[in-house]
Amino acid sequence: MKKIAIIEKIHSDGLEIIDKHPDYEYELINDVSKENLIKKLPDYDACTLRVSKLNENILKHCPKLKVISRHGVGFDNVDLNYIKKNNISLLITATANAVAVAEHVIYMMLTISKSINKYDSEVRKGNFKKNASNIETLELFKKEILIVGFGRIGKSLIKRCLGFEMKVNVYDPFVSNDIISKFGGNKIDNLSDGLKSCDYLSLHIPLTEKTKNMIDSSKLSSMKKNAIIINSSRGGIINEIDLNNALNKNIIFGAGLDVFEQEPVNKDNPLLKNNKVILSPHSATFTNECKSRMSIETTKNIIDFFNNKLDKSMIVKL
């Protein structure tokens, strides 16, 4: 019997996959304090993982653990050095969430461009047409978007942008010109050039030492006044203080953030009071459909792992 720890609740569709396999059992662990994880995890052969951190202090107590199955694709909450040294595999839900994130980006682009929040509030206040013509709104049609990072989500986003007849530039030094043009995009070799000309910027890269603060005050000041920035990748890639200043000084038009340097977002973060930015609580993948797909892929990956049937795209190369 293999034992799976479900660290933090997942959609029931994923748990039903385990129920169908009599050789596997699971326990839901809702208390993700370090003390509780150290107490519980040593019993398990595998675990699923949402946003809790698994570092060496916890993992060194888990001699049976063979595999960590992320409910998602990012893995900056796992101690990669430790799991590599100790031969623990790390899996991701590689095919489950790109569409949901790409749709979230389009929702943010449209919400900001169409000033939806302002119109909504005017109608509710009884100002049906009073201020409507003073509210500035924009179209996506024929506008230029720069997609930074052309992996699973970047590739899903480009299809949606082309549907709006946008011009799509892509900055990803690790993806060839051929692949980008096959998807209908234009490869940009120099990030600064792409930033100067884009109307929309959407980030789809991991947070690393190289990408931290990639978008700072100097980059922001090179952008167009009407530019709109969306970050649904990881907080810290855009410098939040610089972004807040750029919005306040009308250096750019607006921003949409699903991710933050500190999560949950600090209540003193000045962006919370800035009405030129729209915010969501790292919820791009929280559609009903995506929650179901992710939970199924998370638990199926563990079973496929032990049966040597795992699709290679689900394995993080360490």
Ligand X SMILES: NC(=O)c1ccc[n+]([C@@H]2O[C@H](COP(=O)([O-])OP(=O)(O)OC[C@H]3O[C@@H](n4cnc5c(N)ncnc54)[C@H](O)[C@@H]3O)[C@@H](O)[C@H]2O)c1
Please list, in sequence order, all residues whose beta carbon lies within 8 angstroms of the beta carbon of residue 43, skipping any fewer than 6 positions away. Answer: 3, 5, 64
Contact between 200 and ligand X by CB under 6 A: the answer reads no
Contact between 172 and ligand X by CB under 6 A: the answer reads yes
Contact between 256 and ligand X by CB under 6 A: the answer reads no
Q: Can you tell me the distance from the alpha carbon of 127 to that of 171, in angstroms, rounded to the nearest whole number?
A: 43
Closest CB to ligand X among residues 205, 251: 205
> In the complex, what is the shortest distance from the CB of residue 151 to ligand X, in angstroms, rounded to a whole number?
2
Contact between 293 and ligand X by CB under 6 A: the answer reads no
- Cβ-contact 199, 171 below 8 angstroms: no
Closest CB to ligand X among residues 41, 90: 90
Contact between 297 and ligand X by CB under 6 A: the answer reads no
Contact between 105 and ligand X by CB under 6 A: the answer reads no
Q: 70, 104, 282, 293: which one is catalytic?
A: 282
Which of residues 124, 182, 210, 267 is near ligand X by CB under 6 A?
A: 210
- SS3 helix, strand, coil % of the chain, rounded to 5? 40, 15, 45
Say whether 204 is catalytic.
no
Say whether 11 is catalytic.
no
Q: 25, 165, 263, 289: which one is catalytic?
A: 263
> In the complex, what is the shortest distance from the CB of residue 281 to ligand X, in angstroms, rounded to a whole number?
10
The number of CA neighbours under 13 Å toward the Cβ of 116 is 11
> In the complex, what is the shortest distance from the CB of residue 195 to ligand X, in angstroms, rounded to a whole number?
12
Contact between 287 and ligand X by CB under 6 A: the answer reads no
Contact region for ligand X (CB under 6 A) — 27-35, 68-76, 110-118, 120-128? 68-76
- Cβ-contact 192, 222 below 8 angstroms: yes
Which of residues 115, 233, 239, 298 is near ligand X by CB under 6 A?
A: 233
Helical H segments across 86-190, by residue range? 98-113, 116-124, 152-163, 177-182
Instruction: Give phi and psi for 179, each to the nearest 5.
Output: -65, -45
Largest CA distance in the chain: 68
Closest chain position to ligand X (CB): 151
Is omega for the bond preceding 264 within 30 degrees of 0, making it cis? yes
Say whether 234 is catalytic.
yes
Please list, in sequence order, all residues whose beta carbon lies within 8 angstroms of the beta carbon of residue 78, skipping any fewer than 6 positions away. Answer: 49, 53, 54, 68, 70, 90
Contact between 150 and ligand X by CB under 6 A: the answer reads yes
Instruction: Give phi and psi for 183, each to the nearest 5.
Output: -85, -5
> For tokens 């603060």, what's the residue?
213
Contact between 211 and ligand X by CB under 6 A: the answer reads yes
Residue list 70-99, contact with ligand X (CB under 6 A): 72-74, 97
Contact region for ligand X (CB under 6 A) — 22-30, 168-176, 265-273, 304-312? 168-176
> In the complex, what is the shortest distance from the CB of residue 110 to ligand X, in angstroms, rounded to a whole number?
17
Which of residues 199, 242, 258, 261 is near ligand X by CB under 6 A?
A: 258
* Count of positions on this chain that bind ligand X (CB under 6 A): 30
Please list, in sequence order, all residues whose beta carbon lies within 8 angstroms of the beta carbon of residue 170, skipping any fewer than 6 positions away. Answer: 146, 147, 148, 150, 154, 158, 180, 185, 186, 187, 188
Q: Can you tell me the distance from the alpha carbon of 180 to that of 208, in angstroms, rounded to the nearest whole number?
A: 23
Classify the C-alpha dihedral 161-239-225-218 as positive or negative. negative
Contact between 58 and ligand X by CB under 6 A: the answer reads no
Known catalytic residues are 234, 263, 282
Enumerate binding residues for ligand X (CB under 6 A): 72-74, 97, 101, 148-154, 171-175, 204-206, 210-211, 232-234, 258-259, 282, 284-285
